[in-house]
Structure 1
Amino acid sequence: MQDITFANAGVVLAGSLTLPDRGAPVAGVVMVGGSGPSDRDNDTHFPPIRRHLVDAGIAVLSYDKRGVGGSSGDWLDATVDDLASDAAAALDFLRARPEVRSRAVGLFGHSEGGWVVLRTTTLRDDVPWVVTNGGPGTTPAVQDRYSLANTLRRTEGITDDEVDAALAAYDRVIEAGRRDADFAEASRLAQSPPTAFTAHAAEVDEHYWTFLKRKQDHDPVPDAMRLRCPHLAIFGAADDVVPVADSIHLFTAAACHPHRDSRATLTVEVFPGADHRVRTDGGTRLAPGYLDALTRWIIGRTGDPRA
């Protein structure tokens, strides 16, 4: 593993590049983290996946999001297009390495990173494959509402009526975002009347509100319809952050669209009992079979690195 930096659109992004100990050039993958201030390891999520991929002969590059770790800029000022452009720059950096087969480098995006890599893939015609890992097929507004509902229902002492009132408040704030309401109006709607949503909304400041309302209605389905390469969509069946069944339905509908490119196959893997990070046993380990399924699918589209 080595520390690397690459530039894109006025920012410098810092990351890690891990290369297999192979004599011949290998396939590669750029890993893109999830929402918030995600670093090159996406907290503790990426390292075990990285190790398995590298052991299978696949080079891995991951990087700190703008304003995180060693990267400049600020992710709160970024759009999905900005983040997609960063992923594209990472892709070009990895492809330029002599140890890597340039035409065998694809993208892996976790959660929000799924929206990002789908957008990256539609911006160019040279991405050979893309993986979304817990990547929603819905908009952020729909996904966040689903996550909020599950969080509230797990909270001791909150009744169904209180959950419904909190979700109604959430919906009012989302509608305010669509009107480009300012932070003061959004705060008023979240606090009056007080609901179980009020405490969650209090964690949002003005800068974050501007980011959220800009992002909330990003729809990944048009990007999925414009794909020109195979797509692997991985989910944990017990994911309480992303609506899995709805996401699979939306990705499948896009794959069945008559104008979808013939190269854009869709493979869906759902791991029973696994959470948003496709982990089981209380989030202590990746789901059985996950690493092998991911590696097998990538190698099936890049050729056996041992050959």
Structure 2
Amino acid sequence: MTKKSIFSLLLLTASIVNLQAQDKFIPSIWEGKLMGLRLVLKIDEDATSKQPVAVFDSPDQGAFGLKVSKLNITDDSLSAFSSQINGGFKGAFNKDKTELEGAWNQGTAIPFVMKRVSQASALKRPQTPVAPFPYTEEKLTYQNATNTVKYGATLTVPNVKGNVPVVILISGSGQQDRDATIFGHKPFLVIADYLSRNGIAVLRVDDRGVGETTGEVTSATSKDFAYDVLAGVAYLKSRQDMDSQKIGLIGHSEGGLIAPLVATLSKDIAFIVSLAGPGISGSEILRKQTNHLFKQQGLSEAEILTFQELQETLNKLSEKYSDNSELKPIFQETMKNWLANQSEATLFKLGFSGPNADKAIDQMAAFYFLPWTRFFRAYDPAVTLAKIKIPFLALNGGKDTQVLAKENLAGFEQHLRIAGNKNFKTMAFPELNHLFQHAVTGEVGEYSTIEETFDPMVLETMVTWIKSLK
């Protein structure tokens, strides 16, 4: 989705070949913001070969030391290129050689300015908790019921007498560490710290394939991730210091979809908090996200409508053919026919033109073929939420551009009311984005520029609501 497309744009790796540079730029550091994310180019001299070397850092994404495959510096310009993704940056120097103005090009040219700096700017994340803590923090591992997945986790337990309520934090789409680290923010660490300071234990877990957690990811769906959460529930029930009657779930984004799934599989769940979770179908979520992204890229309403029609056709094909080997040739033929009827200008905006057109099409096909995509697109919250009778709190940011507050909160209200749930509540926080930060636009590119990790009012709202439960 949006976040993933930004990630793939910036993660650059390759071997160094044919590097050239002028001595006056060795060493040097160049920094700019690409689609709101900082990108740093570091040029230095290899200690052994004495040849110039260069790497990209994407600090907002936690990616460092990513090798440049080709570097060229002249009196007028600098270019850094990655052969692995067939993309890179080229810019012209200003008069005093302190700034480069040019474009990042990976099929589509994006205007990009880099400035020479003495050192890369540091992230400011004032909410990140710092030890010592007024609660016990325990790093641990446990297995699932079939001993096929090992989970790495951290449990924070309030220093109080008696058993305490406990929540499991469930992350959104894309594999994340136990702190849900994104753009230097650690929202799950912030949530765990606040809740445990207020008498609630918290289990936060590395996702499959991340950190200390094992497990296969490529074929996994949200249903598989629900079973991962069940392993955490079983672990918590085995502990004597937890109140097994007060095990709750807090899920962010896709985690807000997974949490209700878990509750349909286990009677041990006492309550659910959904943070920007989907209250409408997965296919509708994807459609709205795509439309918003294309508007940001300057596509007209007519162009967006045309792509919507393509999406609907591909969705129906995916539903008809469950076997990817059957779907692939039909998918490719459908794409080929659609592309042939689009203008070059439209294809350029969509990234389906130039040397990377075939790669863009392959990436789109790969996304459609993923078991995760098939499951998410078919997900209907009405079916799952019809079974949810436990207390349910759904929260959303009013400036969320990924999971829109109005439609999704209305969906939760409708489905839970039909289910006969007697204890549910929905709340919108007008100034917050998808990550529950105070935002100006709510766009993804803004996330990394905001120092706030998670709105304190939302933290207080969760604690107050959980403690109010009998």
Q: Give percent identity, aligned residues only.
A: 24
Provide the residue aligned with 2:313 in structure 1.
172
CA shift, 1:142, in A, is 1.1
Contact 1:183 / 1:206 at 8 angstroms: preserved in 2?
Answer: no
Q: 2:152 is paired with a residue of what secondary structure? A: strand
Q: What is the rounded CA distance, in whole Å, between the counterparts of 1:143 and 1:131 in structure 2? A: 19
Q: Which residue of structure 2 lines up, in the alignment, with residue 5 of structure 1?
A: 141
Instruction: Give the match's secondary structure for 1:267.
Output: strand
Give the direction of change, closer, same or farther, for the CA distance of 1:92–1:74 in structure 2 (3 Å limit).
same
In structure 1, which of residues 234, 247, 271 is the aligned counterpart of residue 408 of structure 2?
Answer: 247
1:186 is aligned to 331
State the SS of the aligned residue for 2:249. Answer: strand
| Equivalent in 10, 16, 26 of residue 164 of structure 2 | 26
User: RMSD of aligned C-alpha atoms?
Assistant: 2.2
1:158 partnered with 2:299: yes
Per-residue CA deviations over 1:267-287 (Å, capped at 9, x if unaligned) read 101100211122213443233
Q: Report the counterpart of residue 292 of structure 1 in structure 2.
A: 460
Query: Judging changes above 3 Å, is the alpha-carbon distance between structure 1 residues 93 and 208 closer, same or farther for their aligned structure 2 residues?
Result: farther
Which amino acid is 1:159 matched to?
S
The whole-number CA distance in structure 2 between the counterparts of 1:235 and 1:81 is 23
Q: Deviation of residue 152 (structure 1)?
A: 1.1
In 1, Cα distance between equivalents of 2:329 and 2:139: 42
Task: Supply the distance in 2 between the matched residues of 1:134 and 1:60 (Cα, whole angstroms).
Answer: 19
Partner secondary structure for residue 42 of structure 1: coil
**Cα distance change on mapping 1:2 and 1:246 into 2, 3 Å:** same
Counterpart residue type for residue 7 of structure 1: Q
CA distance in 2, matches of 1:158, 1:177: 26
CA contact (8 A) 2:392 2:425 kept: yes
Alignment-mate amino acid for residue 241 of structure 2: E
Residues in 1 aligned to 2:273 and 2:241: alpha-carbon distance in whole angstroms = 22
For structure 2, the residue ranges without an aligned partner over 5 or more in a row are 1-136, 340-346, 353-359, 440-445
Q: Cα 1:298–1:14, aligned 2, differ >3 Å: closer, same or farther?
A: same
2:279 to 114, 128, 137: 137
1:305 matched to which residue of 2? Answer: none
Superimposed CA distance per residue, residues 197-229 of structure 1 (whole angstroms, 9 cap, x where no aligned partner)? 565755346487232124321112221111121
Q: Does 1:67 align with 2:235?
A: no
Q: CA separation in 1, counterparts of 2:274 and 2:202?
A: 16
Aligned residue for 2:370? 210
Tell me if the contact between 2:280 and 2:407 (Cα under 8 Å) persists in the aligned partners: yes
Alignment of 1:33-52 (within 5 A): 33-43=171-181, 44-52=186-194
Contact kept, 8 Å, 1:239 with 1:275, in 2: the verdict is: yes
CA distance in structure 2 between the aligned counterparts of 1:249 and 1:202, rounded to whole angstroms: 36
- Kept in 2, the 8 Å contact 1:50–1:60? The answer is yes
Question: What amino acid does structure 2 have at the position aligned with 1:210?
Answer: L
Query: Could you tell me which amino acid in structure 1 is paired with residue 226 of structure 2?
Result: A
Give the C-alpha shift of residue 145 in structure 1: 0.9
Q: Contact 1:5–1:13 (CA<8 Å) still a contact in 2?
A: yes
Please identify runs of 4+ aligned residues in structure 1 that moved more than 6 A: none
TM-score (norm 1): 0.88
The equivalent of 2:220 in structure 1 is 78
Cα distance in 2 for partners of 1:183, 1:18 equals 47
Question: Within the alignment, does 1:234 sit opposite 2:402 as a pair?
Answer: no
Q: Cα offset for 1:299?
A: 1.3
**Secondary structure of the corresponding residue to residue 284 of structure 2:** helix
C-alpha distance 227-2 of structure 1, shift in aligned 2 (>3 A): same
Contact 2:318 / 2:368 at 8 angstroms: preserved in 1? no
Q: 2: distance between equivalents of 1:241 and 1:219? A: 18
Structure 1 unpaired stretches of 5+: 303-307
Cα distance in 2, alignment partners of residues 149 and 97 from structure 1: 47
What secondary structure is seen at the aligned counterpart in 1 of 2:363?
A: coil
89-98 or 108-117: which moved more?
Answer: 89-98
Kindly indicate whether the alpha-carbon contact (under 8 Å) linking 2:398 and 2:404 is maintained by their aligned counterparts in 1: no
Could you tell me which of 430, 436, 450 is aligned with 1:272? 430
Q: Which has the larger share of helix?
A: 1
Q: Distance in 1 between matches of 2:288 and 2:253?
A: 14
What whole-Å deviation, never above 9, does each CA across 1:211-257 have from its counterpart, x for those lacking one? Answer: 21243211122211111211000111111111322222222122222
2:288 to 121, 146, 150: 146
Question: For residues 54 and 288 of structure 1, what CA distance do their matches in structure 2 show?
Answer: 14
Take 1:213 and 1:224, find their aligned partners in 2: how far apart are those partners? 20
Q: CA deviation at 1:191?
A: 5.3
**How big is the shift at 1:113?**
0.9
Aligned residue-pair number: 298
**Which whole-Å CA distance do the structure 2 matches of 1:294 and 1:224 have between them?**
20
In 1: Cα distance, 2:245 partner to 2:437 partner = 31
Provide the residue aligned with 2:6 in structure 1. Answer: none
Is the 2:162–2:241 Cα contact (8 Å) retained in structure 1?
A: yes
Matches of 2:275 and 2:261, distance apart in 1: 15
Q: Comparing both structures, which one devotes a greater share of its residues to strand?
A: 2
Q: Is the 8 A contact 1:76 1:207 kept in 2?
A: no
